[in-house]
C-alpha cells in the first residue's frame, strides 16, 4: 500500500483523467456503477476532458482524487461534489442540506482488495470535512440495487442506508439506494 500516492488530480492531467474514466466505463460493473456509458465517454472532446480535469483539480465544489502507482499509473479514483441546500441533485430531487456527493468510484481490478478504496474515500472525506464554507452536514452516495459488492464496501466503511430510493436515470425500472456518512461530531 505504501507504494501508492493518494492525491487530488492536477488540471494538466486531463489525458490521464480521460484514460482512467474510460477504463472505468469498460469495467463489467459499469452499467450499474456509472450514469454514463463507454460510448458517451468516448464521444467527449479533448476540450471536455480538459474542463473536467480543471474542475476536479481546482473547483471549490468538486474534487477528484486518484491513487497513483510507483510507475505513475493511475489505478483508482473517486470524486466529491458539493451540493448546496435548495439546489437540484442528479436525480432532480431537492437537496435538503449542505452536503457532499461521492461519485465516480473506481479501482482497477488488479489493485482491488489492497486498501486503495479506503484510502481514496478517506482523502475525499477529509477534503469534504475540511471545507469551511459551506460546512457540510454529511456525505452521501447512491448505489445501484444490484451492485452488492459496492454496497457491502460502503457499509464496511461506515455509510448507512438513509432509506431514500430513486429510479436510476438511465433505467427507471432500476433503483438507486442512498447511503450517508454523517459529519463526525
**Per-residue pLDDT tens digits for 77-119:** 999 999 999 998 888 889 999 999 999 999 999 999 999 999 9
Helical axes 46-58 vs 14-26, angle rounded to 10°: 100
State the cell numbers at 156.
Answer: 464496511
d(CA 165, CA 149): 18
- Cβ–Cβ contacts within 10 Å for residue 145, how many? 13
Cα 85 from Cα 136, distance rounded (Å): 10
pLDDT given at position 185: 84
DSSP code of 51?
H
pTM for the model stands at 0.94
- Across residues 4-11, what is the average pLDDT? 96
Amino acid at each position: 500500500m505504501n507504494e501508492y500516492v493518494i492525491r487530488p488530480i492536477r488540471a494538466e492531467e486531463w489525458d490521464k483523467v480521460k484514460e482512467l474514466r474510460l477504463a472505468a466505463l469498460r469495467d463489467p460493473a459499469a452499467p450499474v456503477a456509472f450514469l454514463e456509458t463507454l460510448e458517451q465517454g468516448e464521444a467527449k472532446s479533448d476540450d471536455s476532458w480538459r474542463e473536467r480535469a480543471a474542475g476536479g483539480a481546482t473547483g471549490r465544489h468538486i474534487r477528484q482524487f486518484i491513487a497513483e502507482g510507483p510507475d505513475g499509473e493511475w489505478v483508482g479514483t473517486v470524486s466529491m461534489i458539493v451540493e448546496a441546500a435548495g439546489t437540484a441533485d442528479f436525480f432532480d430531487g431537492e437537496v435538503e442540506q449542505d452536503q457532499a456527493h461521492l461519485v465516480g468510484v473506481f479501482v482497477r481490478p488488479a489493485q482491488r482488495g489492497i486498501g486503495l478504496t479506503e484510502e481514496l474515500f478517506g482523502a475525499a472525506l477529509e477534503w469534504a470535512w475540511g471545507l469551511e464554507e459551506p460546512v457540510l452536514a454529511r456525505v452521501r452516495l447512491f448505489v445501484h440495487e444490484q451492485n452488492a459488492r459496492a454496497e457491502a464496501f460502503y457499509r464496511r466503511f461506515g455509510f448507512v442506508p438513509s432509506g431514500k430510493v430513486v429510479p436510476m436515470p438511465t433505467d427507471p425500472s432500476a433503483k438507486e439506494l442512498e447511503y450517508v456518512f454523517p459529519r463526525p461530531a
